[in-house]
Amino acid sequence: MTSTSLVVEREREAATKPFRSVLDEMISGFIFIAGPTCSGKTTFSHTLENYFWDKHYSVNIIREDDYFKDLKNMPRSRKGYMTDSMDAFHTDEMKEDVKSYIKNGRVEIPIYDVAKNKRIVSKQYIIKANVTIIEGLHVISLFHGKIDGIFIYMDTPIDVCLERRLKRDTMLYHIPRARIEEHFKDCIMPSYEKEILPQSKKHGVILHSS
C-alpha cells in the first residue's frame, strides 16, 4: 500500500506489516471499509483501487451511499434528518445486490445524487472484478460474518470528521457552518455512538487519517 495519508493507529503499529503482506498476496476477494462520516473511507477506497490497478487487477467499488433513501423517506428526529442511521439506507436492497453480484458475477446497482437527495433513475451495471471494495458507514455490521474478506474500520477522531464535514458541506452545498455543527451534534453523533463506533470491535484492521 503506497499511501502516506493513512497510517495504522499508534498502538497497533505492529499490524502495518501483516496488513501490507495480506494486500501483496491478495489476488481476489472483498475489502470492506466502514467508519464515521468524513473519516477517509472514500479516499482509502481509491488508494486501494489504485494499488490493485497498478498490479493489473480489475477493481469495483460499491458504496453504501448509493443506497440512501430519498429525503422524503429518510428517518427524522425532532431535530432533523437522521442521515447516518442505518434506517436511512435501503440495506436489504444492498445486501441482495451484493448477494446477486457474488452469485451471478454481475449486478445493476443504484446511483444516488447527494446534492438532490434522491436516487437517479439510471443504474450502474458492474461485472465482478478481481477485487471488490465495499465502503460505507455500516458495511461491517451488514457483512461481517456473512462474506469472507478484509474488514477495515476507519478510526478517525470525530473532531477531525466534523472539520472535514464542515469544509465539504460549506464548499459543495453552501450550508451555513452553524447549521452543519448543529446537525452533526443532534443527528449524526447519536448514530455514530449507537451504530457506527461499535463496528470497531468486529474488524481485522483499524486505520485513521493523519
Residue 103 lies in a domain: yes
Residue 28 lies in a domain: yes
Residue 111 lies in a domain: yes
Among 152, 132, 154, 155, residue whose Cα is nearest residue 203: 152
What is residue 206's predicted lDDT score, i.e. its pLDDT?
A: 80
What is residue 207's predicted lDDT score, i.e. its pLDDT?
A: 78
3-state secondary structure string across 170-208: HHHCCCCHHHHHHHHHHHHHHHHHHHHHHHHHCCCEEEE
According to DSSP, residue 34 is labeled E
Judge contact between 154 and 48, C-beta under 8 A. no
What is residue 209's predicted lDDT score, i.e. its pLDDT?
A: 59
Total of domains in the chain: 1
pLDDT under 70: residue ranges of the chain:
1-17, 203, 208-210
Rounded to two decimals, the pTM is 0.90
What is residue 21's predicted lDDT score, i.e. its pLDDT?
A: 80
What is residue 16's predicted lDDT score, i.e. its pLDDT?
A: 60
Q: Report the CATH number that the domain containing residue 118 is assigned in CATH.
A: 3.40.50.300
Residue 7 lies in a domain: no
pLDDT digits (tens, 9 = 90+) for 160-178: 999 999 999 999 989 999 9
Residue 4 lies in a domain: no
What is residue 115's predicted lDDT score, i.e. its pLDDT?
A: 84
Among 207, 204, 206, residue whose Cα is nearest residue 26: 204
Domain with 75, as residue range(s), is 13-209
Residue 27 lies in a domain: yes
Residue 97 lies in a domain: yes
Question: 92 is written with which cell numbers?
Answer: 436489504
Residue 1 lies in a domain: no
